A and B are shown apart, each in its own frame.
Chain A
Amino acid sequence: MRRGVGASAVVLALAGWGTSLAAPAHAGARVAASQPLVELKRDHVARRAPDADARPVDAIPIRRPLTGVRTVLPVLASAIDGKGQAWMRVRLPGRPNGRKGWILAAKTRSRSTAWHVAVDLSERRVSVYRDGRVERQWQAIVGSPSTPTPRGLFFVEEAVALSPLDAGGPYALAASARSEVLQEFAGGPGQIALHGTGNLAGALGTAVSHGCIRLSPAAITWLARRIGAGTPLTIKA
């Protein structure tokens, strides 16, 4: 007679970008048609395991710091602990790059996105996928050899409308990635973003940025009107 699952959690990996792509997505690669997301409805603590007693990884506030929108995170797996509580394994923003953690499913709202942004650093090209198919591609400016754009699996934390006087306007997609060279830049935490070329020098197709990915104003405007918080972002060499 089976008598339950015991104290250990039952972990279920979700089909999607978080787990199904062994290799990072790039233009021409397979990208999951949909990515499960979770929107926080309160501050959460991310832990190393799906267990209320597990070591904390980080505190995740309900809102993002630049615009105050709700925090939305990609979901990689789910689990139910020995007490019957549901947990989700999520990607986390900030350092070190690529962090993951478990949060309680309570006080969250499930969502999904059909969008996926992929950056190919060697081609200096940004591809945007929808339902697993390439929707648009643009040339971009990427990080210089001394301040490279970090590689890995990230996500869009928030979309930001910038003023005409700001560098990088008219929009920015603030990413969960952080520069591995610049600990702080322009009063921020060395945060990587896809943004425009407003008030900045440099030609598209070159590697001259401080780590961010710069796109033409038309391209970043197209993205900002479609790409919401939580959208997967893959950056490959």
Chain B
Amino acid sequence: MSSPFHLKRAGVALAVGFACAAVPAAAQAARQVGLGTAGNFSVLAGSTVTNTGPTTMSSQLGLHPGTSVTGAPVASATHISDGPALQAKSDLVTGYNDAAGQASTALATAELSGQRFVAGAYRASSSLLHSAGSVTLDAQGDPNAVFIFQIGSTLTTGSGTSVALVNGAQACNVFWQVGSSATFGTGSTFVGTVMALTTITANTAATFNGRLLARNAAVNLDTNTIITSGCAPGTTGDSPTTGGPGSDGSPTDGTDGLPPASRSNRNGTATLQRSPGSPGSPGSPGSPGVRDCAEGFRGTVRGRQIKRVVFRMDGKRIANRTSSPFRVFVRAMPGKHVIKARVSFKDATVAKTLKMDYRACAAALLRPRQGPSRFTG
């Protein structure tokens, strides 16, 4: 081919009204990347997760083997150096290798801006840059169309850039395999699952419809919204939809993905309170000499318009309440624990996650079993 960026579709040139409607010719077909349990995470990192400002994600946050999450990003559950996080990291390696190993067509330029891509796997031997404007992913009416970008080094997007999904393209079918680190510009919107070998940095107010999965190093966040949605087979949206929250084709103002009419009906409130009388709670006579610990945790979510509360401890689901009182009691192994209550509402109020720490007393729980004395003495 003389240039890989001639517009072709099944060998027939199309006259499409885009300013720069070029696609690589003879794009290699791509198949769905198997993420395993890593698909359950909005953010997954290896060393640390740092955050500044109010960052929310619709799915889970995971970290392994690192243990430091700073800045309190809000997630449906958090797994820090535990079994689910380890398994997800293992599955991420599999997914990363799957994406990297698929046959691909080399990109002619390292600049994505203004490009239009049909389904397929594309390869950038070095870095890839999306400096301005929009890049378009065109599913050509196939909701199962898969887009894979294999990037040898870095992926960088500029401020205010966006990724447009057209003709049925879905964020769940877009994968970015990054050989080193990915950086997303301030206020940019991005689509797809980013699998970076090293670090992922999302600058202020960048929004995502997908996942940020870093194999070995950090994910750095700053006032970001990360929506991780599943596929909707059969969807064939014809109108271009800018990726990121609200990319379901419905009209939005780009703030939270809800139609403006729905936003006026948000009266829900919720707070999580530790109930008095938790056995061994601080100050009670049940745990002398142990700092701020309790034998058990008893908490209640109170508020308006509450439809359902799912309680989790250290990421594991412990209770599901669909009617008042929205209450939970748990008695845990000694040590620090995190209780989270995911609250959904009857009206259009956006679901929220409430969090509270709980330290189970060691003194009240450990009772060594009887055994023989066979030591050196």
Q: Please tell me if the beta carbons of A211 and B376 are within 8 angstroms of each other in the complex.
A: yes
Count residues of chain A with CB under 8 A from any CB of chain B: 66
Q: Which of A78, A114, A187, A211 is B335 in contact with, Cβ under 8 Å?
A: A114
Measured in the bound complex, the distance between the Cα atoms of B367 and A171 in whole Å is 10
A176 to chain B, nearest CB (A): 13
| Known interface pairs A78-B64, A167-B377; A161-B371 also in contact (CB < 8 Å) | yes
Chain B residues lying within 8 Å of A2, measured Cβ to Cβ, are 100, 152, 179, 197
Measured in the bound complex, the distance between the Cα atoms of B372 and A167 in whole Å is 10
Measured in the bound complex, the distance between the Cα atoms of B65 and A200 in whole Å is 44
Taking CB as reference atom, which chain B residue is nearest A109? B83
Q: Which of A1, A111, A200 is B179 in contact with, Cβ under 8 Å?
A: A1
What per-residue 1/0 map shows which CB atoms of B233-256 lie under 8 Å from chain A?
A: 000000000000000000000000
Count residues of chain B with CB under 8 A from any CB of chain A: 44
Chain B residues lying within 8 Å of A22, measured Cβ to Cβ, are none
A32 to chain B, nearest CB (A): 10
| Known interface pairs A78-B65, A209-B377; A160-B87 also in contact (CB < 8 Å) | no
Among the stretches A54-62, A94-102, A119-127, A220-228, the one at the interface with B is A220-228
Measured in the bound complex, the distance between the Cα atoms of B97 and A191 in whole Å is 46
Measured in the bound complex, the distance between the Cα atoms of B152 and A13 in whole Å is 26
> A159: CB under 8 A from chain B?
yes
Measured in the bound complex, the distance between the Cα atoms of B69 and A69 in whole Å is 32
Chain A residues lying within 8 Å of B65, measured Cβ to Cβ, are 12-15, 36, 77-78
> B66: CB under 8 A from chain A?
yes
Q: Which of B333, B335, B375 is A191 in contact with, Cβ under 8 Å?
A: B375
Taking CB as reference atom, which chain A residue is nearest B101? A3
| Known interface pairs A1-B125, A162-B371; A186-B101 also in contact (CB < 8 Å) | no
Q: Please tell me if the beta carbons of B87 and A224 are within 8 angstroms of each other in the complex.
A: no
Q: Please tell me if the beta carbons of B372 and A66 are within 8 angstroms of each other in the complex.
A: yes
B123 to chain A, nearest CB (A): 6
Q: Which of A85, A195, A200, A224 is B366 in contact with, Cβ under 8 Å?
A: A224
Chain B residues lying within 8 Å of A195, measured Cβ to Cβ, are 373, 375
Q: Please tell me if the beta carbons of B376 and A182 are within 8 angstroms of each other in the complex.
A: yes
Chain B residues lying within 8 Å of A163, measured Cβ to Cβ, are 370, 373
Q: Which of A34, A115, A188 is B375 in contact with, Cβ under 8 Å?
A: A188
What per-residue 1/0 map shows which CB atoms of A23-45 lie under 8 Å from chain B?
A: 00000000000101000000000
Measured in the bound complex, the distance between the Cα atoms of B197 and A3 in whole Å is 11
Taking CB as reference atom, which chain B residue is nearest A3? B100
Q: Please tell me if the beta carbons of A191 and B374 are within 8 angstroms of each other in the complex.
A: yes
Q: Please tell me if the beta carbons of B216 and A110 are within 8 angstroms of each other in the complex.
A: no
Measured in the bound complex, the distance between the Cα atoms of B377 and A187 in whole Å is 12
* CB-contacts of B330-377 with A (<8 A): 333-336, 362-363, 366-377
A66 to chain B, nearest CB (A): 4
| Known interface pairs A110-B83, A191-B376; A224-B94 also in contact (CB < 8 Å) | no
Q: Please tell me if the beta carbons of B334 and A80 are within 8 angstroms of each other in the complex.
A: no
Q: Which of B86, B335, B370 is A110 in contact with, Cβ under 8 Å?
A: B86
Q: Please tell me if the beta carbons of A110 and B82 are within 8 angstroms of each other in the complex.
A: yes
Taking CB as reference atom, which chain A residue is nearest B91? A84
B311 to chain A, nearest CB (A): 20
* CB-contacts of B123-177 with A (<8 A): 123, 125, 150, 152
Ranked 10 nearest A-B pairs via Cβ = A188-B374, A4-B97, A159-B368, A160-B371, A67-B369, A166-B373, A66-B371, A2-B179, A226-B362, A193-B375
